[in-house]
Structure 1
Amino acid sequence: MSASENVRSGGVPAAEESERMQCMEVWGGNRGTNKSFEMPGLRTWVYSRPYSEDKSGGDVYYVSSCASGRITRILLADVMGHGTLAADTARGLRDLMRENINRIRQTSLVHALNQQFSDVARQGGFATALVGTFFAPRRSLAICNAGHPQPLVYRVAQAQWTPLHRRRAENAKLVDMPLGIADEVDYLISETKLDQGDLVLGFSDALPEASDEQGKMLGSDGILELVRQLDVSNPDQLIPDLLAAIGRLSPENLAQDDLTIILLQVTESRPRMKDNLLAPFRLFGKVTDQTQWVEQRR
């Protein structure tokens, strides 16, 4: 059975046992993956499946951890363009993640992303992106959404999934457009406080573009309703259960595009004293590169 058939039939396994992400490390790429990581205050699951069994896709995902482990950053981008362009873009995104690995604020990263994708657009490409920065001491998550599907949040206190709060623009300027479309765009960064056990779900457009039993596109509201029916007591199973639920609606679902899902859960773990003490020395060292990407053929 192919990977796409596994997705539609509910045969996607839970991610392997969590690995501990090391300080000053960047992991990710554009290849298929199903992994879980632990870092201070956070557990992360990443599932990605390129379209049509390809070795790589247009979805690019990265996770990084700073010198002390207090700052975890995620990036999910959907890059549309020819193979060489997409691969070059993936490398550029990796470099930006490395350069900004120790910055709590992600403003400079987002503006650098827009500049990079302006170059992509001039070459006929296009991209949307979701950037998130989790700061463990405050259990805060800053999110910037550039034309990407809106993430969902499950708050233990309310026991319900809702769309993640999004700041409103204060003027009529362009805001949160896909990257590279225009230079003068405001990318609003929304910060939310999370509590232990809370979940955040980010995903590429393959999910909201899936269809229900009548052939109607699910959209963001449809995905929200599906997620609300899932059991959150075992987060390891949440991504497989969501994919199975979508796959049961239509045999064509999740087979027409690259597919990536990132799930975050706030945990009780804190940065280790050892990592805090070593952080100043790590600033002078190199970032460990655990990224893997290959050029798309199509």
Structure 2
Amino acid sequence: MSLEITVASVAQIRSSYQNRRRSAVTATTQAGIRPRHHALEDQLASLKREHDDLRRAIYEAAQAQRRLCGPRHLHAGSYEFASEIFPVRHLSGDFITLLQLEGDLVFAIGDIAGKGLMAGMWFTHVVGMIRRQMPALGDPAAALSAINRDLLLTGLDVPLTTLFLARINLENGDLTYCNAGHPPALLLGENSEFQELREGGPVLGAIRRASFANGNAQLLPGNTLLAYSDGIPECRNEMGFEFGSQGLLNAARTFSGCKPSVMLFSVLAAVENFARTQRREDDVALMVLHRFGSRKIN
């Protein structure tokens, strides 16, 4: 009987010892883990603060970008202007800018190769050049020649930039423009006729001594000018088909009887309906300029 008690006592002692040992190991392990856990929590909190700061800075940069473009909507005499830019990321490589010069209206729409932060940085630079060169030179072709020269003189890895730059006389609707490799703007007449504005030169940042020439057109009463970036015709649907230039022309004709802001968002809605669930892969920019005239605008 005493032997059985002794054996039981030894077993109890061994079990108690093992439990205390496990507890000690656990406590030691937890003591070692706890500081590391707190350190990781501190690092995560710091990363979250940095992430929030970065998101806030990018948001502020995007807002500054949009302000640099000028007003989304403008009335000038018998003309009405509307524009929108939708970046595929926070910062856009597409841009639209607008300024009034000696009673005329100057506007530009462009597309800087690439997306995101780098394209957004060049966006600011190129728009600033337009706003300097047009008041100084007054002529779209001369301004684009100067901008192309200055871009290539930076000595940096300059992204290719397409740009449609125009100046319109608000008295008679005479339009002087220069197209540097950009998709042609559409000049829509009252009877479904249209003109593509292609005259100009090569993309900016490609050829040091590139030659640029002006084209001329006239925005008559009742006419509409629609300019866009390639993100619209190159938008794809789930089947891989592109919206295309014809799709854009069809949409523009369908809504050409609307006010510029209504026409703009109706065309964009047509693009979205075409794409359906397909994710957009490129920035989108669209501007509409209408001259009021004989036709009633809805």
Given the two structures, how large is their TM-score scaled by the length of structure 1?
A: 0.67
Q: Deviations over 1:13-62 (max 9, x none)?
A: xxxxxxxxxxxxxxx9633988211124422111111113x1x2111221
Moved more, 106-115 or 145-154: 106-115
Counterpart among 36, 40, 44 of residue 81 in structure 2: 44
Report the CA distance between 1:197 and its aligned residue.
2.1
Report the CA distance between 1:261 and its aligned residue.
0.6
Query: Aligned partners of 1:265, 1:215: CA distance in 2, in Å?
Result: 33
SS, match of residue 235 in structure 2: coil
Call closer, same or farther: CA 1:43–1:231 in 2, change over 3 Å: closer
Query: Aligned partners of 1:47, 1:133: CA distance in 2, in Å?
Result: 19
Residue 71 of structure 1 corresponds to 104
Residue 167 of structure 2 corresponds to 133
Larger radius of gyration: 2
Q: Is 2:248 the counterpart of 1:223?
A: yes
- Letter aligned with residue 164 of structure 1: E
Equivalences for residues 234-245 of structure 1 within 5 A = 234-245=259-270
Call closer, same or farther: CA 1:121–1:140 in 2, change over 3 Å: farther
Report the CA distance between 1:188 and its aligned residue.
2.6
Between the two structures, name the one with larger relative contact order (CA 8 Å, sep ≥ 6): 1
Counterpart among 66, 69, 83 of residue 31 in structure 1: 66
Report the CA distance between 1:208 and its aligned residue.
0.9
Query: Aligned partners of 2:85, 2:239: CA distance in 1, in Å?
Result: 27
Q: Deviations over 1:127-147 (max 9, x none)?
A: 111101111223111121111
Call closer, same or farther: CA 1:85–1:257 in 2, change over 3 Å: closer
Contact 2:188 2:224 in 1 (8 A): yes
SS, match of residue 76 in structure 1: strand
Q: Deviations over 1:132-176 (max 9, x none)?
A: 1111223111121111111111112xx215242444xxxxxxx62
- Letter aligned with residue 190 of structure 1: G
Report the CA distance between 1:241 and its aligned residue.
0.8
Query: Aligned partners of 2:278, 2:215: CA distance in 1, in Å?
Result: 31
SS, match of residue 101 in structure 1: helix
Contact 1:41 1:139 in 2 (8 A): no
Given the two structures, how large is their TM-score scaled by the length of structure 2?
A: 0.67
Query: Aligned partners of 2:117, 2:165: CA distance in 1, in Å?
Result: 23
- Letter aligned with residue 143 of structure 1: Y
Select the structure that is richer in strand: 1
Moved more, 244-253 or 195-204: 244-253
Query: Aligned partners of 2:241, 2:206: CA distance in 1, in Å?
Result: 29
- Letter aligned with residue 183 of structure 1: R
Report the CA distance between 1:198 and its aligned residue.
0.9
Query: Aligned partners of 1:85, 1:236: CA distance in 2, in Å?
Result: 27
Contact 1:80 1:127 in 2 (8 A): yes
Counterpart among 96, 101, 111 of residue 145 in structure 2: 111
Report the CA distance between 1:195 and its aligned residue.
1.1
Q: Is 2:214 the counterpart of 1:182?
A: no
Contact 1:177 1:185 in 2 (8 A): yes
Residue 291 of structure 1 corresponds to none
Report the CA distance between 1:224 and its aligned residue.
1.4
- Letter aligned with residue 36 of structure 1: H
Contact 2:94 2:123 in 1 (8 A): no
Query: Aligned partners of 1:121, 1:51: CA distance in 2, in Å?
Result: 28
Instruction: Give the aligned length.
Output: 228
Contact 2:95 2:123 in 1 (8 A): no
Contact 1:152 1:161 in 2 (8 A): no
The gaps in structure 2 that reach 5 residues or longer are: 1-62, 294-298
Q: Deviations over 1:250-289 (max 9, x none)?
A: 2255721111111111247xxxxxxxxxxxxxxxxxxxxx
